[in-house]
Amino acid sequence: MSPHLLSVDSLSRDQVDHLLRVASRMEPIAQRRKITRVLEGAVLGNLFFEASTRTRVSFNAAFCRLGGSVCDTTGFTFSSMAKGESLYDTSRVMSGYVDAIVMRHPEQGSVAEFAAATHVPVINGGDGPGEHPSQALLDLYTIDKEFARLGKSLVGAHLLLTGDLKYGRTVHSLIKLLSLYDPMRITLVSPPGLEMPSHLIDLVTSRGHRVEQRESLANDFSDLDVIYTTRIQKERFTDEMSESFNGISQDFSVNRAFLESRCNATTIVMHPLPRDSRPGANDLDVDLNGDPRLAIFRQTDNGIPMRMAIFATLLKVEELIEKDLREV
């Protein structure tokens, strides 16, 4: 595996399968049924220059569950980047302080630029509209677990990716990760102007998958296995785009009526979160709360074992953890 996790492009199918297996092994530690201290003395630098709840806190918790400690900095205001420090200098400085770094930054490519200047492993916690590889790995881990529970297989599965497919970095990483697997059917539905980038559709199609683009959710999805819906990323819009998109997200809302009328009893509903609960924005309706098909909170829980697996692999402590799992 590459020393960093910047994009799912660096992962082979075998490496992804390995991470899924390691994440499964981490479950007892994630749930505190087993204890390990393999990262005792190690320090994680958690650098978040864009808003985050799940990614920042779950990477922090995952590192602590492995026995390590975490130094956090959030936002530009409380970092010396506010004084004009470059990514290069910040990276060189942080390399002397910590053993691994998770970074989120609003500009696509910035985390890779940062990683080029350091000798410690860097994980991309989201670079603007670019990628979010750890989210895609936990999403795939969730699909794997949900399918095992339902007796389903990824081979030939039908997945719907909907919402903001242009700026949604989680779907960019996820569709590339899915493309490593056996042929499946992927339907893409997004508001006009927010379609999945064509180079990603070309990549997935070239790997033998059937990709269909539709303009609306008003279709028959009765054979659907997974709905993966995403928030409209208004923070990435220009002023003109904001005007033209006012109110449109309602037409792409995944809610109980949609699930009951268009899907089936085993269609699982996923979302990377946060879902937008402000008036006029309704990417995933709260009327599905309590429905067993809503997998979003099982999905967030899966972030801990998958992020532990990423640390275990990048920091090469898998064997030590296995020893603790056998002994403790």
Binding residues for ligand CP, rule: CB under 6 A, are 52-56, 126, 132, 135, 272-274
CA dist 93 and 205 (Å) reads 42
Give me the half-sphere count of Cα atoms (radius 13 Å) on the Cβ side of residue 324. 21
Choice between 257 and 286, CB closer to ligand CP: 286
Q: How far is the CB of 35 from ligand CP (least distance, A)?
A: 26
CA dist 210 and 212 (Å) reads 7
Q: How far is the CB of 34 from ligand CP (least distance, A)?
A: 26
- CB burial class (10 A; 0-12, 13-18, 19+) of residue 247? exposed
Choice between 273 and 284, CB closer to ligand CP: 273
CA dist 157 and 304 (Å) reads 26
Choice between 208 and 274, CB closer to ligand CP: 274
Q: How far is the CB of 50 from ligand CP (least distance, A)?
A: 8
Q: How far is the CB of 236 from ligand CP (least distance, A)?
A: 13
Nearest of 303, 298, 296 to residue 269 by alpha carbon: 296
Choice between 56 and 166, CB closer to ligand CP: 56
CA dist 261 and 282 (Å) reads 18
Q: How far is the CB of 48 from ligand CP (least distance, A)?
A: 8
Choice between 139 and 324, CB closer to ligand CP: 139
Q: How far is the CB of 69 from ligand CP (least distance, A)?
A: 21
- Retrieve residue 160's tokens: 């719907």
Residue carrying structure tokens 């699909």: 143
Separation of first and last alpha carbons in the chain = 28
Choice between 53 and 216, CB closer to ligand CP: 53
Choice between 134 and 313, CB closer to ligand CP: 134
Q: How far is the CB of 268 from ligand CP (least distance, A)?
A: 17
CB 100 within 8 A of CB 123: yes
User: What CA dihedral angle connects 105, 232, 133 and 46, to 10 degrees?
Assistant: 40
Strand partners, 189: 162, 214
